[in-house]
Amino acid sequence: AQKITQTQPGMFVQEKEAVTLDCTYDTSDPSYGLFWYKQPSSGEMIFLIYQGSYDQQNATEGRYSLNFQKARKSANLVISASQLGDSAMYFCALLPLAAGTALIFGKGTTLSVSS
């Protein structure tokens, strides 16, 4: 079975601090991708970062980095120097890389950044 687990319903962080959002996954597919999305209250899904299962290096995109530990099946998102605008819901998602398959989402983590 393919599954994404996000165990933190809510996280609180102060501005300028770093925060780690946890994500573990389960899949038997050898090829897959892992995504993180940000969803503000408007509802749009904002793509943040992607990690392929065969990528040797951890993905980074600006203030976002993905701590990919394949043996542990974890793909934690690290946000450095948090900003007030980072307050939102964050979803980790798994994509089996067969053509035409859908993203499998975790339950999400609500991040609140305070000043």
Partner 1 sequence: GAVVSQHPSRVICKSGTSVKIECRSLDFQATTMFWYRQFPKQSLMLMATSNEGSKATYEQGVEKDKFLINHASLTLSTLTVTSAHPEDSSFYICSASTGRGAGNTIYFGEGSWLTVV
**Where on the chain is the footprint of partner 1 (CB under 8 A)?**
33, 35, 37, 43-45, 47, 50-52, 89, 91, 95-108, 110
CB of 37 to partner 1, least distance (A): 8
Least spacing, CB of residue 100 vs partner 1, in Å: 5
CA distance 51 to 55: 7
How far is residue 77's CA from residue 97's CA, in Å, rounded to a whole number?
A: 21
Q: CB-wise, 94 or 113, nearer to partner 1?
A: 94
* Whole-angstrom distance, CA of residue 38 vs CA of residue 41: 10
Burial of 91 (0-12, 13-18, 19+ CB in 10 A): buried
Q: Give SS3 for 102.
A: coil
Q: CB of 45: closest distance to partner 1 in angstroms?
A: 4
